[in-house]
Structure 1
Amino acid sequence: MAQENQNGASKAAAAVTFTAVKPQLFVEAPKATDAVQFYKAAFGAEEVNRTMHPKRKADQELPLILSAEVKIGSYSLLVSDLADDSDALPIFHILSLGLAKPFGAYSANTRAKTVGTGCTICLETDEVEAAVVKAVAAGATNECATADGESACCGGRVAKLKDPYGFVWLICSPAKKPVDVVA
């Protein structure tokens, strides 16, 4: 028997299970290939899939990446080229503008401001200092000295890096488990 809402007399929504969350990082075209190489060198990423922009492949223009999926540890993220004539626009920017214009109406200048902003990615490792050295050697900028964190996401050692594409990465050791956690 279907469950019904008390106020609206409509059927309750079916349960939904998500199997993955894959953040998508937009970089200024044509730098997605370089970004993937950087993530491989800095964070040991493994590229598992790449989809090229079909229009540019057909027109034999500079091939752009529609999305490249890379795995860091057991998690995936997508890296994409964002070109001046691209219809792709980061969702946080679309929402902030209230969908006032169709995608193609945004200027290249507007798009460039969205690249490398609005996202911090936290990578967890027991080897924070070694991870920082590796990322800096690959081209990241160390934004602050490694310190002991106190927040829920970074309860151990934490370092802040910025990659060559403007994204901020926190390199954290696992948070210490609190003794008095009440569910």
Structure 2
Amino acid sequence: MNDVAKQVPTGGVTPHLTIGDGKASDAIAFYVAAFGAEERGRMLADDGSRLMHAHILINGSSVMLNDDFPEYNGGPASLPASVTLHLQVDNADAWWNRAVAAGAIIRFPLDNQFWGDRYGQVTDPFGHVWSIGAPIPA
């Protein structure tokens, strides 16, 4: 087992994102800028260019990602895309503003919701939907 694999926690559920067009490294840079991600490690594929595996932490939770390998799975277009990644944070406005400044596209505007959270959704440049929520400030 390599050092990157040892860092992924056991138990729970860890999202694993496949990024198309060889842009997994760009996705990591975006997640650092948009969500304050911390890169824990990465491994290149044997071709020396595509990212086979990476591990980042966002808001204390693990996210794994890799470049697309269409020769194995048919590419991202063939995969279901009905997932929203939720970030429950301390300050929704701060996280929201950082994500939008980094290039996220507003999908569902940030606003106070009836269930008691300040909540909204953005789409990252790689097609993944992120929801951001925090309790409405008193």
TM-score bin (small chain) = 0.7 to 0.9
Cα pair 1:44 1:72 within 8 Å, conserved: yes
Q: Does 1:53 align with 2:45?
A: yes
Tell me which of the two structures has the higher relative contact order, counting C-alpha pairs closer than 8 angstroms and 6 or more residues apart. 2
Match of 2:125 among 138, 150, 164: 164
How big is each residue's C-alpha offset from its partner over 1:98-135, in whole Å with a ceiling of 9 and x where there is no partner? xxxxxxxx4xxxx2414682210000112111211110
Normalized against structure 1, the TM-score is what?
0.63
- 1:120 aligns with one of 80, 84, 88: 84
RMSD: 2.0
SS at match of 1:142: strand
Task: Specify which structure has the higher proportion of strand.
Answer: 2
TM-score normalised according to structure 2 size: 0.82
Distance 2:78 2:125 in 1: 15
Q: How many residues align?
A: 127
Q: Which runs of 4+ in 1 moved over 3 A?
A: none
Equivalence for 2:7: none
CA shift in 2, pair 1:170/1:122, >3 Å:
same
AA of the residue aligned to 1:84: P
User: Which residue does 2:5 correspond to in 1?
Assistant: none
Give the C-alpha shift of residue 141 in structure 1. 0.4
**1:21 counterpart = 2:13:** yes
Give the structure 1 partner of residue 56 of structure 2: 70
> Could you list the runs of 5+ residues in structure 1 that have no partner in the other structure?
1-17, 58-62, 90-105, 176-183
